[in-house]
Protein backbone atom coordinates (compact mmCIF):
# COMPACT_ATOMS: atom_id res chain seq x y z
CA UNK A 1 0.00 0.00 0.00
CA UNK A 2 1.35 3.44 -0.87
CA UNK A 3 2.28 5.76 1.96
CA UNK A 4 1.10 8.75 -0.06
CA UNK A 5 -2.66 9.45 -0.27
CA UNK A 6 -4.47 12.19 -2.18
CA UNK A 7 -5.95 15.00 -0.14
CA UNK A 8 -9.39 14.35 -1.58
CA UNK A 9 -10.85 11.24 -3.09
CA UNK A 10 -12.28 11.80 -6.57
CA UNK A 11 -15.70 10.30 -7.26
CA UNK A 12 -15.74 6.77 -8.53
CA UNK A 13 -15.65 6.52 -12.32
CA UNK A 14 -18.84 5.62 -14.05
CA UNK A 15 -19.25 1.91 -14.80
CA UNK A 16 -19.35 2.73 -18.48
CA UNK A 17 -15.85 4.23 -18.37
CA UNK A 18 -13.64 1.76 -16.47
CA UNK A 19 -9.99 2.64 -16.01
CA UNK A 20 -10.33 6.39 -16.56
CA UNK A 21 -8.96 8.65 -13.88
CA UNK A 22 -9.51 11.98 -15.59
CA UNK A 23 -10.87 14.46 -13.02
CA UNK A 24 -14.30 15.88 -13.56
CA UNK A 25 -14.24 19.20 -15.41
CA UNK A 26 -15.20 21.79 -12.84
CA UNK A 27 -14.81 25.57 -13.15
CA UNK A 28 -12.54 27.14 -10.56
CA UNK A 29 -14.37 30.03 -8.92
CA UNK A 30 -11.17 31.92 -8.11
CA UNK A 31 -9.93 31.86 -11.73
CA UNK A 32 -13.34 33.00 -13.06
CA UNK A 33 -13.48 35.89 -10.62
CA UNK A 34 -9.99 36.99 -11.61
CA UNK A 35 -10.79 36.80 -15.30
CA UNK A 36 -13.96 38.82 -14.86
CA UNK A 37 -12.15 41.42 -12.77
CA UNK A 38 -9.58 41.88 -15.52
CA UNK A 39 -12.22 42.00 -18.24
CA UNK A 40 -14.38 44.60 -16.61
CA UNK A 41 -11.55 46.78 -15.29
CA UNK A 42 -11.90 45.78 -11.69
CA UNK A 43 -9.00 45.50 -9.30
CA UNK A 44 -6.92 42.32 -9.62
CA UNK A 45 -7.39 39.69 -6.94
CA UNK A 46 -3.71 38.73 -7.26
CA UNK A 47 -1.38 40.57 -4.83
CA UNK A 48 1.23 42.72 -6.55
CA UNK A 49 4.01 41.36 -4.31
CA UNK A 50 3.88 37.78 -5.72
CA UNK A 51 7.13 36.61 -4.22
CA UNK A 52 7.40 39.06 -1.36
CA UNK A 53 6.00 38.79 2.18
CA UNK A 54 2.88 40.80 3.05
CA UNK A 55 4.13 43.85 5.03
CA UNK A 56 0.80 44.11 6.83
CA UNK A 57 0.54 40.55 8.07
CA UNK A 58 -0.25 37.11 6.76
CA UNK A 59 -3.75 37.93 5.58
CA UNK A 60 -4.82 39.71 2.40
CA UNK A 61 -3.58 43.25 2.16
CA UNK A 62 -6.19 45.99 2.55
CA UNK A 63 -3.82 48.76 1.40
CA UNK A 64 -3.12 48.30 -2.26
CA UNK A 65 -1.39 50.69 -4.62
CA UNK A 66 -3.69 52.60 -6.92
CA UNK A 67 -4.13 51.07 -10.35
CA UNK A 68 -2.05 52.60 -13.10
CA UNK A 69 -3.37 52.39 -16.64
CA UNK A 70 -1.05 51.74 -19.57
CA UNK A 71 -1.57 53.14 -23.04
CA UNK A 72 -2.22 50.45 -25.71
CA UNK A 73 0.22 52.24 -28.03
CA UNK A 74 2.98 52.11 -25.47
CA UNK A 75 2.35 48.41 -24.94
CA UNK A 76 2.66 47.80 -28.68
CA UNK A 77 5.94 49.71 -28.85
CA UNK A 78 7.37 47.79 -25.91
CA UNK A 79 6.34 44.44 -27.39
CA UNK A 80 7.84 45.30 -30.77
CA UNK A 81 11.10 46.44 -29.16
CA UNK A 82 11.33 43.28 -27.08
CA UNK A 83 10.70 41.03 -30.07
CA UNK A 84 13.28 42.87 -32.20
CA UNK A 85 15.89 42.55 -29.44
CA UNK A 86 15.15 38.85 -28.99
CA UNK A 87 15.45 38.17 -32.72
CA UNK A 88 18.68 40.18 -32.94
CA UNK A 89 20.19 38.41 -29.91
CA UNK A 90 19.20 34.99 -31.21
CA UNK A 91 20.78 35.74 -34.57
CA UNK A 92 24.03 36.84 -32.95
CA UNK A 93 24.13 33.75 -30.76
CA UNK A 94 23.52 31.49 -33.78
CA UNK A 95 26.28 33.19 -35.74
CA UNK A 96 28.75 32.81 -32.85
CA UNK A 97 27.91 29.13 -32.37
CA UNK A 98 28.13 28.49 -36.10
CA UNK A 99 31.53 30.18 -36.32
CA UNK A 100 32.91 28.17 -33.37
CA UNK A 101 31.70 24.88 -34.82
CA UNK A 102 29.58 24.09 -31.78
CA UNK A 103 26.53 23.49 -33.92
CA UNK A 104 28.48 21.11 -36.15
CA UNK A 105 29.66 19.19 -33.07
CA UNK A 106 26.09 18.98 -31.79
CA UNK A 107 24.98 17.59 -35.13
CA UNK A 108 27.78 15.06 -35.15
CA UNK A 109 27.07 14.02 -31.58
CA UNK A 110 23.42 13.45 -32.39
CA UNK A 111 24.09 11.38 -35.48
CA UNK A 112 27.34 9.58 -34.69
CA UNK A 113 27.67 9.56 -30.91
CA UNK A 114 30.64 10.88 -28.90
CA UNK A 115 33.79 11.58 -30.91
CA UNK A 116 36.23 10.74 -28.07
CA UNK A 117 38.76 8.03 -28.98
CA UNK A 118 40.16 5.87 -26.18
CA UNK A 119 43.28 3.80 -26.86
CA UNK A 120 42.93 0.54 -24.93
CA UNK A 121 45.72 -1.52 -23.43
CA UNK A 122 44.67 -4.43 -25.64
CA UNK A 123 45.15 -2.43 -28.83
CA UNK A 124 48.66 -1.42 -27.70
CA UNK A 125 49.64 -5.04 -27.10
CA UNK A 126 48.13 -6.15 -30.41
CA UNK A 127 50.02 -3.46 -32.33
CA UNK A 128 53.31 -4.32 -30.61
CA UNK A 129 52.96 -8.04 -31.39
CA UNK A 130 51.92 -7.30 -34.97
CA UNK A 131 55.09 -5.25 -35.45
CA UNK A 132 57.56 -7.60 -33.77
CA UNK A 133 56.31 -11.10 -34.53
CA UNK A 134 57.26 -11.18 -38.27
CA UNK A 135 60.91 -10.73 -37.20
CA UNK A 136 60.83 -13.65 -34.75
CA UNK A 137 62.07 -17.02 -35.99
CA UNK A 138 61.95 -20.53 -34.60
CA UNK A 139 65.35 -22.25 -34.37
CA UNK A 140 65.62 -26.04 -34.47
CA UNK A 141 69.13 -27.21 -33.58
CA UNK A 142 70.15 -30.86 -33.93
CA UNK A 143 73.43 -32.30 -32.62
CA UNK A 144 73.48 -35.23 -35.05
CA UNK A 145 72.91 -37.76 -32.27
CA UNK A 146 69.14 -37.43 -32.20
CA UNK A 147 69.04 -34.57 -29.69
CA UNK A 148 67.01 -31.55 -30.79
CA UNK A 149 66.67 -28.17 -29.14
CA UNK A 150 63.87 -25.78 -30.09
CA UNK A 151 64.44 -22.10 -29.41
CA UNK A 152 63.79 -18.69 -30.88
CA UNK A 153 65.67 -15.76 -32.35
CA UNK A 154 65.25 -12.36 -33.99
CA UNK A 155 66.28 -11.21 -37.44
CA UNK A 156 68.26 -8.01 -36.86
CA UNK A 157 69.58 -7.56 -40.39
CA UNK A 158 67.80 -8.44 -43.68
CA UNK A 159 70.92 -10.16 -44.99
CA UNK A 160 70.09 -13.07 -42.70
CA UNK A 161 71.71 -12.19 -39.37
CA UNK A 162 69.96 -13.66 -36.33
CA UNK A 163 70.51 -13.06 -32.61
CA UNK A 164 69.72 -15.92 -30.23
CA UNK A 165 70.97 -17.65 -27.08
CA UNK A 166 74.25 -19.52 -26.97
CA UNK A 167 72.66 -22.47 -25.16
CA UNK A 168 70.15 -22.93 -28.00
CA UNK A 169 72.76 -23.63 -30.71
CA UNK A 170 75.78 -24.95 -28.78
CA UNK A 171 76.83 -28.33 -30.16
CA UNK A 172 74.46 -28.19 -33.13
CA UNK A 173 75.54 -29.81 -36.38
CA UNK A 174 72.46 -28.65 -38.28
CA UNK A 175 70.32 -25.57 -37.69
CA UNK A 176 66.95 -24.98 -39.32
CA UNK A 177 65.41 -21.52 -39.28
CA UNK A 178 61.63 -21.38 -39.52
CA UNK A 179 60.08 -18.03 -40.47
CA UNK A 180 56.63 -16.89 -39.40
CA UNK A 181 55.21 -17.73 -42.85
CA UNK A 182 56.54 -21.30 -42.38
CA UNK A 183 59.45 -21.05 -44.82
CA UNK A 184 62.44 -23.15 -43.66
CA UNK A 185 66.03 -22.07 -44.27
CA UNK A 186 69.38 -23.52 -43.20
CA UNK A 187 71.51 -21.59 -40.73
CA UNK A 188 75.07 -21.76 -39.41
CA UNK A 189 76.56 -20.52 -36.15
CA UNK A 190 78.72 -17.43 -36.62
CA UNK A 191 79.96 -17.07 -33.05
CA UNK A 192 79.30 -17.40 -29.32
CA UNK A 193 79.54 -15.00 -26.40
CA UNK A 194 79.81 -17.10 -23.25
CA UNK A 195 79.87 -13.97 -21.11
CA UNK A 196 76.22 -13.19 -21.82
CA UNK A 197 74.79 -16.44 -23.29
CA UNK A 198 74.35 -14.86 -26.70
CA UNK A 199 75.09 -16.25 -30.13
CA UNK A 200 74.92 -15.05 -33.71
CA UNK A 201 73.45 -17.30 -36.42
CA UNK A 202 73.68 -16.59 -40.15
CA UNK A 203 71.31 -17.76 -42.85
CA UNK A 204 70.94 -16.85 -46.48
CA UNK A 205 69.01 -13.61 -46.82
CA UNK A 206 65.83 -13.37 -48.87
CA UNK A 207 64.37 -10.21 -50.48
CA UNK A 208 61.42 -9.73 -48.13
CA UNK A 209 63.09 -10.76 -44.89
CA UNK A 210 61.73 -8.53 -42.08
CA UNK A 211 64.08 -6.87 -39.59
CA UNK A 212 63.51 -6.25 -35.86
CA UNK A 213 63.48 -2.72 -34.48
CA UNK A 214 65.89 -2.44 -31.56
CA UNK A 215 64.95 -0.44 -28.49
CA UNK A 216 66.94 1.20 -25.71
CA UNK A 217 67.23 -0.97 -22.61
CA UNK A 218 69.07 1.73 -20.66
CA UNK A 219 65.87 3.75 -20.32
CA UNK A 220 63.69 0.92 -19.01
CA UNK A 221 61.51 1.48 -15.97
CA UNK A 222 60.08 -1.08 -13.58
CA UNK A 223 56.38 -1.50 -14.30
CA UNK A 224 56.37 -0.81 -18.02
CA UNK A 225 54.84 -3.21 -20.52
CA UNK A 226 56.88 -6.26 -21.58
CA UNK A 227 55.87 -8.86 -24.17
CA UNK A 228 57.75 -12.13 -24.80
CA UNK A 229 57.45 -13.81 -28.21
CA UNK A 230 58.79 -17.27 -29.06
CA UNK A 231 58.04 -20.99 -29.23
CA UNK A 232 57.38 -22.02 -25.62
CA UNK A 233 55.43 -25.11 -26.63
CA UNK A 234 57.93 -26.43 -29.16
CA UNK A 235 57.69 -27.06 -32.88
CA UNK A 236 53.90 -26.88 -33.21
CA UNK A 237 53.45 -23.46 -31.57
CA UNK A 238 55.79 -20.80 -33.00
CA UNK A 239 55.25 -17.07 -32.45
CA UNK A 240 53.41 -17.43 -29.16
CA UNK A 241 53.13 -14.20 -27.17
CA UNK A 242 52.84 -13.57 -23.45
CA UNK A 243 52.29 -10.24 -21.71
CA UNK A 244 53.66 -8.85 -18.47
CA UNK A 245 55.72 -6.02 -17.08
CA UNK A 246 59.35 -5.25 -16.37
CA UNK A 247 59.50 -6.57 -12.80
CA UNK A 248 63.05 -5.51 -11.91
CA UNK A 249 66.36 -4.44 -13.44
CA UNK A 250 70.00 -5.37 -12.85
CA UNK A 251 69.34 -8.94 -11.73
CA UNK A 252 72.12 -11.55 -11.36
CA UNK A 253 71.50 -15.28 -11.73
CA UNK A 254 73.59 -18.45 -11.68
CA UNK A 255 72.80 -20.91 -14.45
CA UNK A 256 73.76 -24.53 -13.64
CA UNK A 257 75.69 -26.65 -16.10
CA UNK A 258 73.82 -28.85 -18.55
CA UNK A 259 74.88 -31.36 -21.18
CA UNK A 260 76.34 -28.74 -23.50
CA UNK A 261 77.10 -25.67 -21.38
CA UNK A 262 79.12 -25.17 -18.18
CA UNK A 263 77.76 -23.35 -15.17
CA UNK A 264 77.78 -19.60 -15.65
CA UNK A 265 76.72 -16.39 -13.98
CA UNK A 266 74.70 -13.76 -15.83
CA UNK A 267 74.61 -10.14 -14.71
CA UNK A 268 72.48 -7.07 -15.24
CA UNK A 269 69.41 -8.96 -16.48
CA UNK A 270 65.85 -7.73 -16.95
CA UNK A 271 63.37 -9.56 -14.74
CA UNK A 272 59.83 -9.95 -16.09
CA UNK A 273 56.61 -11.71 -15.18
CA UNK A 274 55.74 -12.33 -18.84
CA UNK A 275 55.63 -16.13 -19.03
CA UNK A 276 58.94 -17.50 -20.34
CA UNK A 277 59.48 -21.18 -21.07
CA UNK A 278 62.36 -23.15 -22.66
CA UNK A 279 61.26 -22.53 -26.27
CA UNK A 280 61.30 -18.77 -25.65
CA UNK A 281 65.10 -18.82 -25.26
CA UNK A 282 66.67 -16.43 -27.73
CA UNK A 283 63.39 -14.73 -28.57
CA UNK A 284 62.66 -11.06 -28.01
CA UNK A 285 61.24 -9.20 -25.06
CA UNK A 286 59.55 -6.16 -26.60
CA UNK A 287 58.03 -2.98 -25.23
CA UNK A 288 54.66 -1.37 -26.01
CA UNK A 289 56.02 0.02 -29.28
CA UNK A 290 57.17 -3.39 -30.53
CA UNK A 291 60.86 -2.50 -30.04
CA UNK A 292 63.20 -5.24 -28.82
CA UNK A 293 64.42 -4.40 -25.32
CA UNK A 294 65.89 -7.78 -24.38
CA UNK A 295 66.64 -11.38 -25.38
CA UNK A 296 64.88 -13.91 -23.16
CA UNK A 297 67.39 -16.32 -21.71
CA UNK A 298 66.21 -18.09 -18.55
CA UNK A 299 63.30 -18.84 -16.27
CA UNK A 300 63.30 -19.31 -12.52
CA UNK A 301 63.11 -23.05 -11.84
CA UNK A 302 61.93 -22.63 -8.24
CA UNK A 303 59.14 -20.10 -8.86
CA UNK A 304 56.41 -19.21 -11.32
CA UNK A 305 56.06 -15.96 -13.22
CA UNK A 306 59.74 -15.02 -13.03
CA UNK A 307 61.84 -14.90 -16.17
CA UNK A 308 64.98 -13.09 -17.27
CA UNK A 309 66.21 -11.39 -20.42
CA UNK A 310 69.56 -9.97 -21.51
CA UNK A 311 69.23 -6.21 -22.15
CA UNK A 312 69.45 -5.45 -25.85
CA UNK A 313 72.09 -2.77 -25.27
CA UNK A 314 74.46 -5.50 -24.06
CA UNK A 315 73.87 -7.47 -27.27
CA UNK A 316 74.42 -4.57 -29.68
CA UNK A 317 78.26 -4.65 -29.72
CA UNK A 318 78.50 -8.30 -30.80
CA UNK A 319 75.72 -7.76 -33.34
CA UNK A 320 77.81 -5.01 -34.89
CA UNK A 321 80.94 -7.16 -34.77
CA UNK A 322 79.18 -9.90 -36.75
CA UNK A 323 77.99 -7.43 -39.39
CA UNK A 324 81.57 -6.20 -39.75
CA UNK A 325 82.87 -9.78 -40.08
CA UNK A 326 84.80 -9.54 -36.82
CA UNK A 327 85.36 -12.15 -34.15
CA UNK A 328 82.91 -11.87 -31.25
CA UNK A 329 84.73 -10.45 -28.24
CA UNK A 330 84.12 -8.50 -25.07
CA UNK A 331 85.97 -5.52 -23.53
CA UNK A 332 88.43 -5.69 -20.67
CA UNK A 333 90.11 -3.08 -18.42
CA UNK A 334 91.96 -5.38 -15.99
CA UNK A 335 90.84 -4.17 -12.57
CA UNK A 336 89.17 -5.90 -9.64
CA UNK A 337 86.53 -3.83 -7.87
CA UNK A 338 83.52 -3.80 -5.56
CA UNK A 339 80.31 -1.94 -6.31
CA UNK A 340 79.69 0.47 -3.46
CA UNK A 341 76.42 0.36 -1.54
CA UNK A 342 75.56 1.72 1.89
CA UNK A 343 76.80 -1.36 3.73
CA UNK A 344 80.16 -1.36 1.94
CA UNK A 345 80.58 2.39 2.51
CA UNK A 346 79.98 2.06 6.26
CA UNK A 347 82.10 -1.07 6.67
CA UNK A 348 85.19 0.41 5.00
CA UNK A 349 84.48 4.04 5.89
CA UNK A 350 84.54 5.10 2.25
CA UNK A 351 84.13 8.71 1.15
CA UNK A 352 81.43 8.01 -1.47
CA UNK A 353 78.20 6.01 -1.34
CA UNK A 354 78.31 4.89 -4.98
CA UNK A 355 80.79 3.87 -7.66
CA UNK A 356 83.21 0.99 -8.38
CA UNK A 357 85.88 0.81 -5.68
CA UNK A 358 89.11 -0.62 -7.12
CA UNK A 359 89.92 -3.06 -4.36
CA UNK A 360 91.04 -6.66 -3.81
CA UNK A 361 91.78 -8.80 -0.74
CA UNK A 362 93.67 -12.04 -0.22
CA UNK A 363 92.27 -15.08 1.57
CA UNK A 364 93.03 -13.51 4.94
CA UNK A 365 91.24 -10.26 4.12
CA UNK A 366 94.36 -8.23 3.55
CA UNK A 367 94.34 -5.60 0.74
CA UNK A 368 96.41 -6.49 -2.33
CA UNK A 369 97.03 -4.96 -5.75
CA UNK A 370 93.73 -4.71 -7.69
CA UNK A 371 95.05 -3.51 -11.08
CA UNK A 372 96.59 -6.14 -13.36
CA UNK A 373 100.08 -5.24 -14.53
CA UNK A 374 100.12 -4.27 -18.22
CA UNK A 375 96.33 -4.19 -18.46
CA UNK A 376 94.43 -1.32 -20.13
CA UNK A 377 93.60 0.02 -16.66
CA UNK A 378 97.25 -0.02 -15.65
CA UNK A 379 98.29 1.76 -18.83
CA UNK A 380 95.59 4.40 -18.33
CA UNK A 381 96.78 5.17 -14.78
CA UNK A 382 94.05 3.63 -12.62
CA UNK A 383 95.29 2.93 -9.06
CA UNK A 384 94.20 0.56 -6.32
CA UNK A 385 91.87 2.50 -4.03
CA UNK A 386 90.39 4.64 -6.80
CA UNK A 387 86.61 4.90 -7.06
CA UNK A 388 85.34 4.87 -10.65
CA UNK A 389 82.15 6.94 -10.47
CA UNK A 390 81.11 6.96 -14.11
CA UNK A 391 81.75 5.75 -17.63
CA UNK A 392 81.03 7.86 -20.69
CA UNK A 393 78.83 10.09 -18.55
CA UNK A 394 76.77 7.26 -17.03
CA UNK A 395 76.78 7.05 -13.25
CA UNK A 396 77.92 3.82 -11.58
CA UNK A 397 75.73 2.59 -8.71
CA UNK A 398 74.23 -0.73 -7.55
CA UNK A 399 71.66 -0.58 -10.35
CA UNK A 400 74.26 0.39 -13.00
CA UNK A 401 77.47 -1.46 -12.25
CA UNK A 402 80.74 -1.04 -14.08
CA UNK A 403 80.47 -4.41 -15.83
CA UNK A 404 76.98 -3.56 -17.06
CA UNK A 405 78.23 -0.33 -18.62
CA UNK A 406 81.47 -1.84 -19.90
CA UNK A 407 79.80 -4.65 -21.80
CA UNK A 408 78.08 -2.16 -24.11
CA UNK A 409 81.39 -1.34 -25.81
CA UNK A 410 83.61 -3.31 -28.15
CA UNK A 411 87.32 -3.95 -27.58
CA UNK A 412 89.52 -1.25 -29.05
CA UNK A 413 87.08 1.51 -28.16
CA UNK A 414 88.50 4.44 -26.21
CA UNK A 415 86.17 5.59 -23.44
CA UNK A 416 86.29 8.08 -20.58
CA UNK A 417 86.13 7.08 -16.92
CA UNK A 418 85.29 9.51 -14.13
CA UNK A 419 87.54 8.71 -11.16
CA UNK A 420 87.60 9.89 -7.53
CA UNK A 421 90.99 9.80 -5.78
CA UNK A 422 92.14 11.43 -2.53
CA UNK A 423 89.25 13.89 -2.38
CA UNK A 424 89.26 15.06 -6.00
CA UNK A 425 87.74 13.97 -9.31
CA UNK A 426 89.46 13.47 -12.65
CA UNK A 427 88.72 12.00 -16.08
CA UNK A 428 90.84 9.15 -17.43
CA UNK A 429 90.82 8.02 -21.07
CA UNK A 430 91.22 4.27 -21.53
CA UNK A 431 91.41 2.04 -24.62
CA UNK A 432 89.52 -1.17 -23.92
CA UNK A 433 91.26 -4.52 -24.36
CA UNK A 434 89.81 -7.94 -25.19
CA UNK A 435 88.45 -9.96 -22.32
CA UNK A 436 90.17 -13.36 -21.95
CA UNK A 437 88.10 -16.52 -22.05
CA UNK A 438 85.47 -15.47 -24.59
CA UNK A 439 85.35 -17.69 -27.66
CA UNK A 440 83.70 -17.39 -31.03
417 CB contacts (<8 Å, ≥6 apart)? 380, 382, 388, 390, 391, 427, 428, 429, 430
Residue count of the chain? 440
Among 159, 158, 141, smallest CA distance to 150 is for 141
The reply to whether 267 belongs to the active site is no
Q: How far apart are CA 128 and CA 135, in angstroms?
A: 12
Helix (H, G, I), strand (E, B) or coil at 114: coil
Q: Are 257 and 263 in contact (CB under 8 A)?
A: yes
Q: Is 25 a catalytic residue?
A: no
Find the catalytic residue in 193, 281, 313, 386. 281
Cβ neighbourhood burial of 207 (10 Å; 0-12, 13-18, 19+): exposed
Using DSSP, state whether 261 is helix, strand or coil: coil
Strand partners, 386: none
Tell me which of 133, 193, 197, 313 is the catalytic residue. 197
Strand pairing report for 136-142 and 174-178: antiparallel
281 catalytic residue (yes or no): yes
- Residues 408 and 419: their CA atoms lie apart, in Å, by 19
Are 229 and 283 a contacting pair, CB within 8 Å? Answer: yes
Which residues are marked as active site? 167, 197, 281
Amino acid sequence: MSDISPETNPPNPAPSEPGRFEPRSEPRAYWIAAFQARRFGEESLTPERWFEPDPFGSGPSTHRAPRRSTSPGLVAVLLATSMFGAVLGAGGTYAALKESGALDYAARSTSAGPQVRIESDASTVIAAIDKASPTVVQIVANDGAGNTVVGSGIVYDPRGWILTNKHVVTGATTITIRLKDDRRLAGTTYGFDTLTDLAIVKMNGIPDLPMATLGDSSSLLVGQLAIAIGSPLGLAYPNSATQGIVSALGRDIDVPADGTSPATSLHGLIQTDAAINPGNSGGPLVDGSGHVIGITTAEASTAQGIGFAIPIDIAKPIMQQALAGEKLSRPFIGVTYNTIDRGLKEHYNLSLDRGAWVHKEDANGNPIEAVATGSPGDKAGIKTGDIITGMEGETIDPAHRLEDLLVKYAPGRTVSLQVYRNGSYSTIRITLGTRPGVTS
